[in-house]
Amino acid sequence: MSADTLRLIVLLYLIYRVLKWIFSDRSEDNLSQKNNSNPSPTKNKKNTLSESKKTTYQTNTNTLKESILEKTNNTSSFSNKSKYLHVAGIPHRFGKSVKINTIFKEGQKLTAVRHKDNIHDANAIQLNLGSQFVGFIPKDQNQEYALFMDRGGKLLIKVYRVDSSDIWRGVGIEITPLSM
C-alpha cells in the first residue's frame, strides 16, 4: 500500500468520525423527542442546552474573575510579591537566528503595555525595551497582571537572566506589581 493511499484512508476515516460526531447529536435529540410524550421541537432543546452552557461558562468565568480580583485587591498577597517568568515571543519578533544577548542585558528594565484588543489573547501584556517591542508576558501567566493593570496598577519588570542558548525561554524577567 503506498503512502498516498494510506493518507487518503486516514483522511476519509477522520471525515467519517467528524460526520458521525456531528450527526450523533441530532439523532440523540430525535430519539429523545420520540420517547417524550410531550414533544418539543429539537431547536428549542438545542437552544436550552446552549443557553445552559453559556450560563455555566459565564458563571465559571465570573467566579474566576472574582477570585483574581480578590487577589489583586489584597495588596499584601499580590502587590508585594515578585514572580519570575520569561519573555514570550522573542523568535517571532526577531527571528529564530537572533542572538538575544545582543538585545537584552541583565538588570534592564522593560515597560508593560496592556493590549486588550489582541486577537490571540484578551489579557495580552506587551513588553517594550525603550520604544522597541520585544515580546509578551506568557499567555498562561498574564491574567492576574492584566486585571491588575486594567485597574490602574503598574508593573516593574527587570531582566534577571539572559541565556543565549535558549531563544524561546532564554530571557528571564522579574515582575513586581507596584501599589495602585
147 with 129: CB under 8 angstroms? no
pLDDT in tens, 88-134: 988 888 888 888 888 899 999 999 999 988 899 999 999 999 999 99
pLDDT at 61: 54
In this predicted structure, what is the pLDDT of residue 28? 47
Q: What is the pLDDT of residues 121-178, one digit of tens each?
A: 999 999 999 999 999 999 998 988 999 999 888 999 999 999 888 888 889 999 998 8
Give the pLDDT band of residue 78 (cuts 50, 70, 90): low
**Residue 25's pLDDT band (cuts 50, 70, 90):** low
- pTM (2 decimals)? 0.56
Q: What is the pLDDT of residue 27?
A: 47
Higher per-residue pLDDT: 24 or 178: 178
Q: Which residues lie across from 157 on neighbouring strands?
A: 110, 175
CA pair distance 100, 88, nearest whole angstrom:
13
Question: For the segment 32-71, what is each residue's pLDDT rounded down to a tens digit?
Answer: 455 554 544 444 544 554 555 555 555 555 565 566 556 5
Q: Which pLDDT belongs to residue 29?
A: 47
Q: Provide the residue ranges of all domains of the chain, joining segments of one domain with +.
A: 3-73, 83-178
Fold assignment, 83-178:
Alpha-Beta Plaits (3.30.70)
pLDDT, greater one: 107 or 9: 107
